Structure 1
Amino acid sequence: MATSNARAGTTSTPICRRCTRRCAPSPRRRTTSSACLALAALPHAPADLLKVARLSTRFLSRGIASLPPARAVDKPRLRIGYLSGDFHAHATAALMVEVLECRDRADFEVLLFSHGPDDGSPLQQRVRAACDRFIDVGALDAAGIAARMRAEGVDIAVDLKGHTAGSRFTALAARPAPVQVAWLGFPGTCGADYIDYVIGDPIVTPLADAPFYSERIAQLPRCYQPGDATRRIVPTPRAALGLPEDAIVLLSANVVHKVLPPIFEAWMVLLHRLPSALLWQFSGGEQADARLREEAARHGIAPERLVFMPPVDMAAHWNRLAAADLALDTWPYNGHTTTSDALAAGVPVVTLRGDGFASRVAESLLAEAGLPELVCESLDDYVERACALATGPKPPIRPWIDSRAFARDLEALYRRIWARAVAGLPPEALPAVSVPVAPAGDAADARRP
């Protein structure tokens, strides 16, 4: 095939250097968080992302004054404050909700600081019911959010957005809490000296990558991404989705900006190798879809072999994914929630390993699901593995979501982080440590309503 057989590494290329300069904050552009997200979707050296994150954070945090220092003290119950605009019908809420429901309510109080919409959705109602207090800070600026968090006595502030759209993580520049953490939203460093830790796992954030983070790495012993085991998939018939019953359906549910030329070329090779296959791509809108069909035609693929799925509500999307035979991951920005959604629908995912957090999320999820053999080292390997999977039996997907165990691991990590702060020690890298989970119904469970 015409694709490169080199390992999917990343180096600082002229394109990436130009992107770094272009993503640098401009005094005329205040909302620059998307610069880091854009770079994460392109081949880049991890050091470049740290550079752009530092520049963006410095610009976004300008003028935010620090509050008087807050001191960590030993206490039996920690108050965790999560900051996000996604506590509604959104992927972040869908990932987190069951972990919030399974938390240890006796030892941890949870406050959600929301700067997102009040959509009244069933998911938002679950999230609200799972926390101790839901505090709307949507009308507040960064300094106002920080003041509210300080007034509420937050011990550990956890930002769930990072450099993603609508983020207000710069509220933490005022240091409202004794310890401040980044988790789940952005796959990489925030470049913020005021965020002490980034929560990952041994695959997405190996300790060897510490030079590429402004935060200290804190590892969970399992995939850093939680999930909801209560979700039930009711497969949508192919006929209702406009998919032929006898076709091999290759799913790409990632947004189109993740579809870069090398991976798209590999997909076209697959379609040549598999004459009965079609590519089922999440629609990027009329113009983007037309461009992808044009590009497919240049590779000798008939336009009708690209079928685009329109936006639908979250539950309908989960249900339709089960119609696919195989999911094709993107590179260097993997599918994150996209990958766990496919696995939950019973669809195996083939991925290409890269350098950096964003390029290893699918690997981390596949390891949890018992499918490490679907992680490829090269584009040629990716194509061969996908061909074999598309024409052979589906590999079994191990149930990987255990929200009760995840909650215990996360709470144990918070305790380790807090203990260092109480001792007056600076943040340091915290390797993964497994925590035994007591059988359901024991005394610890009895403390949770």
Structure 2
Amino acid sequence: MFSLFGRKVRAKPQLDPSRSADINDLLRRADALRENSDSSGALQLYQKVLEGDPKCLHAMYWLAALYEEAGDLQKAKEYCERGLAIDPNQIGLLLRIGNVAIRALDPIFALQCYERVARLDPEAPDLDALMADQFCLMGRIEEGLAAFDRAIARNPEAVTLQSNRLFVLNFSKLLSPVELFQEHRRWGALHQSKALSLLKVESVTLDPEKRLRIGYVSPDFRDHPVAAFYEPMLEARDKKAFEIFCFDTSPAVEDAVTARLKRSADVWQCVTDMGDQALAETIRKSRIDILVDLSGHTKGNRLSMFALKPAPIQVTWLGYLNTTGLTAMDYRITDGYLDPAGETEHLHTETLCRLPLHSCFLPSPQSPPVSPLPASTSGHITFGSMNQWPKVSDEVKDTWASLLKRVDRSQLLIVARGGQNPVFRDHIIGEFMLRGIEAARIRVSPALDFLRFLELFSEIDISLDPFPYGGGTTTMQSLWMGVPVVTLKGATAFARNSVGLLSEVGLEQLVAITPGGYVATAAECAGNLAHLVELRAGLRERVAASSLMDAPQFCESLESAYRSMWRKYCAA
């Protein structure tokens, strides 16, 4: 969700001229191997250095870095701790162990490391950006936004930081919908003005009925929530009328999802290392008719490239339920649940294109079977929050605490990245204790791998949707696992994310309009165990039979929209 960019670590331990010639020679050889990408050889020499000089911080730092790169986070952490035991104020090691903590999904420990660096050297580069990510992951949104503002003030050209800040603004009600739109529009105007001198006229055949070339740009052609909605469309498309180009911008290793998507696309291009101008030229040379952004202001987006307008028609869809702020983006694909007619047009630089449904869903073939209702054997209702912890605002905590007080003996299971850290776990539980809930009624789980995540639904009777940034993929996964979801309909598309999903499976009664109504709805649902048992037993089949999984129907509506956009463009 929040991006950690490749950053050069400042103040790394340096070679010590007072060491013996043999040790320094080993270090130089190890450094040379590392710089030539011989990690195995470098590891052996750095370890040999420590045999001769057990206090060599330079060797410890690079051993930590190499083990982190290899994915052995425990070893990386051990070498950092070993070095910090010698010099607790070594900034390079503090930054390195903070990075290791991020990869280990432990934001509170990472933040503690960065705060130590800030006390030692407030001018350390990129420190505010690093801290902003961790504040947000812990749900401390206002502090995260303040850190983003400081980071952007230091580096006004940091496009990705600007997008991260816009993304995070959706997690709170700090700004009204109009003010949030103005923030997006300012971002768009800035990048649109930079792109004007680079714009070129595209050369495509203006035939309204030709086979259209549709280009999709995304960093998420992997095992990622976006793929669960993109893949069924790709499978069901009309291959005679539409030629699909996928522009893969991700540096991540390809996986099984990537392989399936590649087989379904007509043309696949890995464009990870291309800058905006080079990518725009590649897209122009491909003579793309309609170019589709699947990211919005989420991690890894290429919106600054879209500002160059490399295709006649540009569309944003799926990854971000808000405006991009770019006038070069012609349409945003949505539906009447997310953006009811007449309510949000003024909050977009794009024209809203409403389909019957915003997307369709493909569940994982690894999905475990639906389990019996936990309350039938536990004797109490277990509510669950499987969404990202940053979405759980103070208003949500207040609402959930009221619900727990209303439903006797009920418990709340929360999944949170970093929940394995006792300090963070106690902090989350403490948030509810401050609201009058006993600690024993709150259970915190760390982030889990996907299969274990799905299996955890077997311990939940009713899922609770956060607000104002509700669940989408998580709501679908909950319904697929037989667990109903209670949601609060808000003023933005993000705050209405679950409304259509519930309505399309006949659960519109679980959509509340006020926080008080949310509590009453969830309490009423919890009070009817017989209904919960019956609902759970048939919910997966209900989802499977619904429009939410009707890929041919969805694809027909999407392609009809593309054709209408193109005909309008040709007529103009």
How high is the TM-score relative to the length of structure 2? Answer: 0.66
Task: Write the letter of the residue equivalent to 1:68.
Answer: V
Query: 2:212 maps to which residue?
Result: 78
Task: Compute the RMSD of aligned alpha carbons.
Answer: 2.8
Q: Spell out, residue by residue over 1:252-308, the C-alpha distance to the aligned partner (whole angstroms, 9 max, x if none).
A: 111111111111111112222223322111113135433221111112222232222
Percent identity among equivalent residues? Answer: 30
Q: Identify which of 403, 408, 428 aligns with 2:551.
A: 403
Task: Write the letter of the residue equivalent to 1:218.
Answer: C
1:417-436 alignment runs, 5 A limit: 417-424=565-572
Query: 1:173 maps to which residue?
Result: 307
Count of equivalent residues: 406
Is 2:180 the partner of 1:53? no
Query: 2:270 maps to which residue?
Result: 136
Is 2:173 the partner of 1:37? no
Kindly state the Cα deviation for residue 118 of structure 1 after the two structures are TM-superposed.
4.5
Range with greater deviation from structure 2 (142-151 or 284-293) = 284-293
Is 2:387 the partner of 1:254? yes
CA distance in structure 1 between the partners assigned to 2:394 and 2:307 by the alignment: 38
Query: 1:220 maps to which residue?
Result: 355
Q: 1:412 to 1:288 in 2, by over 3 A?
A: farther
- Kept in 2, the 8 Å contact 1:350–1:382? The answer is yes
1:178-257 alignment runs, 5 A limit: 178-208=312-342, 209-222=344-357, 224-228=358-362, 231=365, 233-235=367-369, 245-257=378-390
Is 2:415 the partner of 1:282? yes
Query: 1:124 maps to which residue?
Result: 258
Is 2:465 the partner of 1:329? yes
- Kept in 2, the 8 Å contact 1:83–1:112? The answer is yes
Kindly state the Cα deviation for residue 348 of structure 1 after the two structures are TM-superposed.
0.7
CA distance in structure 1 between the partners assigned to 2:370 and 2:456 by the alignment: 5
Query: 1:375 maps to which residue?
Result: 511
Kindly state the Cα deviation for residue 122 of structure 1 after the two structures are TM-superposed.
2.0
Q: Spell out, residue by residue over 1:415-449, the C-alpha distance to the aligned partner (whole angstroms, 9 max, x if none).
A: 1111101111xxxxxxxxxxxxxxxxxxxxxxxxx
Q: 1:402 to 1:356 in 2, by over 3 A?
A: same
Task: Write the letter of the residue equivalent to 1:146.
Answer: A
Kindly state the Cα deviation for residue 23 of structure 1 after the two structures are TM-superposed.
9.8
Q: Secondary structure of the equivalent of 2:498?
A: helix
CA distance in structure 2 between the partners assigned to 1:288 and 1:112 by the alignment: 40
Range with greater deviation from structure 2 (402-411 or 320-329) = 320-329
Is 2:175 the partner of 1:28? no
- Kept in 2, the 8 Å contact 1:100–1:131? The answer is yes
- Kept in 1, the 8 Å contact 2:228–2:362? The answer is yes
- Kept in 2, the 8 Å contact 1:327–1:348? The answer is yes
Q: Secondary structure of the equivalent of 1:203?
A: coil
Q: Secondary structure of the equivalent of 1:79?
A: strand
Is 2:480 the partner of 1:349? no
Q: 1:256 to 1:157 in 2, by over 3 A?
A: same
CA distance in structure 1 between the partners assigned to 2:205 and 2:558 by the alignment: 19
- Kept in 2, the 8 Å contact 1:25–1:56? The answer is no
Is 2:288 the partner of 1:154? yes
Query: 2:438 maps to which residue?
Result: 302
CA distance in structure 2 between the partners assigned to 1:236 and 1:373 by the alignment: 22
Q: Identify which of 403, 425, 428 aligns with 1:270.
A: 403
Task: Write the letter of the residue equivalent to 2:566.
Answer: W
Q: Spell out, residue by residue over 1:368-407, the C-alpha distance to the aligned partner (whole angstroms, 9 max, x if none).
A: 1211111101111111110111231224643231111111
Task: Write the letter of the residue equivalent to 1:42.
Answer: S
- Kept in 2, the 8 Å contact 1:235–1:321? The answer is no
Range with greater deviation from structure 2 (341-350 or 281-290) = 281-290
Q: Identify which of 235, 238, 246 aligns with 1:112.
A: 246
Q: Secondary structure of the equivalent of 2:269?
A: strand
CA distance in structure 1 between the partners assigned to 2:562 and 2:163 by the alignment: 27
Is 2:241 the partner of 1:93? no
- Kept in 2, the 8 Å contact 1:113–1:136? The answer is yes
Q: Secondary structure of the equivalent of 1:174?
A: coil
- Kept in 1, the 8 Å contact 2:333–2:353? The answer is yes
Query: 1:435 maps to which residue?
Result: none
Larger Rg: 2
- Kept in 2, the 8 Å contact 1:235–1:322? The answer is no
Range with greater deviation from structure 2 (279-288 or 85-94) = 279-288
Q: Secondary structure of the equivalent of 1:53?
A: helix
Range with greater deviation from structure 2 (227-236 or 323-332) = 227-236
CA distance in structure 2 between the partners assigned to 1:63 and 1:361 by the alignment: 33
CA distance in structure 2 between the partners assigned to 1:288 and 1:358 by the alignment: 27
Kindly state the Cα deviation for residue 53 of structure 1 after the two structures are TM-superposed.
0.8
Kindly state the Cα deviation for residue 149 of structure 1 after the two structures are TM-superposed.
0.9
Query: 1:10 maps to which residue?
Result: none
Kindly state the Cα deviation for residue 345 of structure 1 after the two structures are TM-superposed.
1.2
CA distance in structure 1 between the partners assigned to 2:466 and 2:232 by the alignment: 27
Q: Secondary structure of the equivalent of 1:149?
A: helix
Q: Secondary structure of the equivalent of 1:76?
A: coil
CA distance in structure 1 between the partners assigned to 2:384 and 2:483 by the alignment: 9
Kindly state the Cα deviation for residue 144 of structure 1 after the two structures are TM-superposed.
1.5
Q: Mind listing any 5+ residue stretches in structure 2 that lack a counterpart?
A: 1-141
Q: Spell out, residue by residue over 1:327-378, the C-alpha distance to the aligned partner (whole angstroms, 9 max, x if none).
A: 1011111111111111111111111111011111111111112111111011
CA distance in structure 2 between the partners assigned to 1:154 and 1:319 by the alignment: 42
CA distance in structure 2 between the partners assigned to 1:422 and 1:385 by the alignment: 50
Task: Write the letter of the residue equivalent to 2:454.
Answer: W
Q: Which has the higher helix share?
A: 2
CA distance in structure 1 between the partners assigned to 2:379 and 2:258 by the alignment: 39
CA distance in structure 1 between the partners assigned to 2:215 and 2:451 by the alignment: 28
Q: Secondary structure of the equivalent of 2:284?
A: helix
CA distance in structure 2 between the partners assigned to 1:102 and 1:405 by the alignment: 9
CA distance in structure 2 between the partners assigned to 1:132 and 1:34 by the alignment: 32
- Kept in 1, the 8 Å contact 2:202–2:287? The answer is no
- Kept in 2, the 8 Å contact 1:85–1:116? The answer is yes
CA distance in structure 2 between the partners assigned to 1:129 and 1:23 by the alignment: 44
Is 2:448 the partner of 1:312? yes
